[in-house]
Structure 1
């Protein structure tokens, strides 16, 4: 379901994306907080993998961890995970191409949960489950009016778009998990 902004007018009488953001509600502020905090934290986590930023081990260390978890070749999967977390997190935080950002996050977190499943919730996968849940919720609600998608022709939210984003995430996660098992 896209947001039709043709009938939305700002206090000055303008129509379009800026006017769509002019009618900001409490829900929009809440979605902005969720998107920015979760998105930037996840993007930071991705840069730990790719570049060793924020105390991360960098690509070589992550490649070793990925290989140890059964993702071969480790370096390829480290790059995929790092790019998915960084790119998906930044898209999510900005509210830009939100279904795609949500799909990147959910697909990556499904793999993170699968890797940590044996450790249990609190010693393993609770953080990945938290990221997955936030991205899934925003896939359904859309990013809100305080987003780069707001009022744009490509803005999409609702059950159909959430299903598409989650289907893409599940499909890519399944392929990755199958490759891990081979």
Structure 2
């Protein structure tokens, strides 16, 4: 028996308009600048006392009290990672690395706030929903890339996609675990 029926494969032609390309780029710009700016501000609070922050000395004492000994090392490191990771995201520069920096820092913040739960019933207890949200936003940027309105766009070093996003998340998890191990042994 011979099959003489003609078979056609449905094809879908997708055209992306300039408006759609610009809209995606603007959306990623808004996300990067808003989110990265907030991360950088949190870092500036810890390091310099800007934006009603505690400043470096109080941050170091706070980290010492949370069991991150020496507090001088871990408090400074937390402020620097938030500031640098946030600024890199604002500018869309080395985006997978910037995202990894932020995700790793937020994993440690989640660890500190874990006992409070995701949404604590007691308003005086801080839960881990905010650092989780920040980690999700950073991980999303690791996969999508910074968009067309960024310093990475069109550069030879620009990286995005599943492999680079996965590598950024893996790097974040490894560095966060190393930090937590150091917290336990120092």
Confirm or deny a common fold (TM above 0.5): yes
Task: Determine which structure has greater relative contact order: mean sequence separation of CA pairs < 8 Å that are 6+ residues apart, divided by chain length.
Answer: 1
Note if 1:140 corresponds to 2:124.
Answer: no
* Structure 1 spans left out of the alignment, 5+ residues: 1-20
Residues 67-113 of structure 1, C-alpha deviation per residue, up to 9 Å, x if partnerless? 11110000110111100000000001110010110011000000000
Spell out the pairing of 1:22-101 with structure 2 (5 A cutoff). Answer: 24-101=21-98
How far off its partner does 1:146 sit? 0.8
Alignment check: 8 A CA contact 1:142 1:157 kept? yes
CA RMSD of aligned residues (A): 1.6
1:176 corresponds, among 176, 179, 183, to: 179
Q: Distance in 1 between matches of 2:107 and 2:67?
A: 15
Structure showing greater radius of gyration is 2
Q: Distance in 2 between matches of 1:72 and 1:89?
A: 25
Which residue does the alignment assign to 2:14? none
Q: Distance in 2 between matches of 1:127 and 1:94?
A: 23
TM-score, normalised to structure 2's length? Answer: 0.84
Alignment check: 8 A CA contact 1:24 1:146 kept? no
Residues 122-165 of structure 1, C-alpha deviation per residue, up to 9 Å, x if partnerless? 33211111110100001111111011100000000001111111
Q: Distance in 1 between matches of 2:60 and 2:168?
A: 27
Q: Secondary structure at the match of 1:150?
A: coil
TM-score, normalised to structure 1's length? Answer: 0.85
Structure with a larger share of its residues in helix: 1
Q: Secondary structure at the match of 2:51?
A: helix
Q: State the number of aligned residues.
A: 162
Q: Distance in 2 between matches of 1:45 and 1:150?
A: 26
